[in-house]
A = this chain, B = another copy of it.
Amino acid sequence: MSDDYPITQRNRIKRRHERGRYDKETVHAILDSALAAHISYVMDGQPYCTPTAFWREGEHLYWHGSSASRMIRFQGPGVPVCVTVMHLDALVLARSAFHHSVNYRSVMAFGTAHKVDDPAEKARALDGFVDRFYPGRSALLRPPSASEIKATTFIKMEIEEAAAKIRDTHVGDEDEDYELPIWAARYQVRQVVGEAEPCPRQHPDAQQPPPGMEAYRPGRTLDEIMTDTARYAEKA
The answer to whether B194 and A148 have CB atoms under 8 Å apart is: no
Q: Are A202 and B183 in contact (CB under 8 A)?
A: yes
The A1-42 residues at the B interface (CB cut-off 8 A) are: 10, 14-16, 35-36, 38-42
Q: A47-B81, A47-B82, A81-B47 are in contact. Are A192 and B189 (CB under 8 A)?
A: yes
**9-residue interface stretch from A54-62, A114-122, A206-214:** A206-214
Residue of B nearest to A48 (CB): B82
Contact of A137 among B35, B93, B127, B203 (CB under 8 A): B93
The interface residues of chain B lying within 8 Å CB-to-CB of A178 are 201, 203
* Best-surrounded residue of A38, A108, A189 (most CB of chain B within 10 A): A38
A235 part of interface (Cβ distance < 8 Å): no
Residues on B with beta carbons closer than 8 Å to the beta carbon of A199: 170-171, 173, 184-186
Residues A148 and B198 in contact, CB atoms below 8 Å apart: no
- Shortest beta-carbon distance, A5 to chain B, in Å? 16
A233 at the interface (CB under 8 A from B): no
Contacts of A193 in B (CB 8 A): 91, 187-189
Task: Report the separation of the CA atoms of residues A46 and B186 in the bound assembly, to the nearest whole angstrom.
Answer: 36
A53-95: CB near B (< 8 Å → 1, else 0) gives: 1000000000001101110000000001111101010010101
Contact call B142/A180, Cβ cutoff below 8 A:
yes
Query: What are the residues of chain B within 8 A of A145 when measuring CB–CB?
Result: 98
Q: Which residues of B contact A236 (CB under 8 A)?
A: none
Q: Is the CB of B47 within 8 A of A41?
A: yes
B-chain residues with CB within 8 Å of residue A82 when the two chains form the complex: 40, 46-49
The answer to whether A138 has its CB under 8 Å from any CB of chain B is yes
Closest 9 CB pairs between A and B? A40-B40, A181-B205, A40-B49, A51-B86, A184-B199, A188-B194, A38-B38, A40-B47, A49-B84
18 A–B contacts from the bound complex (CB under 8 Å): A10-B46, A16-B66, A38-B84, A40-B82, A49-B49, A49-B83, A88-B222, A96-B144, A97-B130, A97-B141, A98-B148, A100-B133, A173-B199, A183-B202, A183-B207, A187-B195, A187-B197, A190-B192
